[in-house]
Chain A
């Protein structure tokens, strides 16, 4: 079974600065997807960024980028120019890409991101 570990229960950053959230995972599969989701107090889960394991290029979405290290099974999220609206719980998630593999997402425990004005 796959596991996802987020070792930072809480992170704090000053507005406009850069912060990196850590995520490691354990799997024996070679093809999979990794995701970062954001959950603000409204509890709506919002997709932040998606990475396909077979792609070596790191995904980017505006101020959000990832550092995907497949050999190290590491998938960190970098948020540049942090904004007050970035404050939320951030969850790292894994999904198998194999036909017949687990279809659902396996989530880490989450990191609570605080933005200091």
Chain B
């Protein structure tokens, strides 16, 4: 498995502001991913973050709203920009363990936008 940490674990923010979520993996990984889990819902992929290249966004998600950085093979950040109450969700980071083609998840960040 992989040990993945996220900061912050939760936050309450005002609309119109931005929040950056950090994700740290205990070993080098090729691919990292960001997912959103809206209240009572399943997980939806926001984007794939590969080191050294631009993130690849899924339909319905855009870079201006969810800019992502991947400066090295163990770290990534997701920014939720110009937040509105509809952005209130759990945001989860995951990393792909290449040897098993399996994704492991961080503990998530619970975001509430007022």
B43 within 8 A of A: yes
Mask for B99-114, Cβ within 8 A of A = 1, else 0? 0111111011010000
Using CB atoms, name the residue of chain B closest to A89.
B42
Count B interface residues, CB 8 Å.
25
A50 within 8 A of B: yes
Using CB atoms, name the residue of chain A closest to B47.
A104
**Which of B48, B107, B110 is the one whose CB lies under 8 Å from A103?**
B48
Contacts of B108 in A (CB 8 A): 43-45
B31 within 8 A of A: yes
Per the bound structure, the CA–CA distance linking A43 and B107 in Å amounts to 7
A33 within 8 A of B: yes
Q: Nearest 10 CB-CB pairs, A to B?
A: A45-B105, A104-B45, A107-B42, A107-B43, A43-B108, A109-B42, A44-B107, A103-B48, A104-B33, A110-B42
Q: Interface on B for A, CB 8 Å cutoff?
A: 1, 31, 33, 35, 37, 41-45, 48, 58, 90, 92, 94, 96, 100-105, 107-108, 110
The 23 sampled A-B contact pairs (Cβ below 8 Å) are: A33-B101, A35-B103, A37-B105, A42-B107, A43-B107, A43-B108, A44-B105, A45-B108, A46-B105, A47-B1, A47-B102, A50-B100, A50-B102, A91-B42, A95-B103, A97-B101, A104-B33, A105-B35, A105-B103, A107-B42, A107-B43, A109-B41, A110-B42
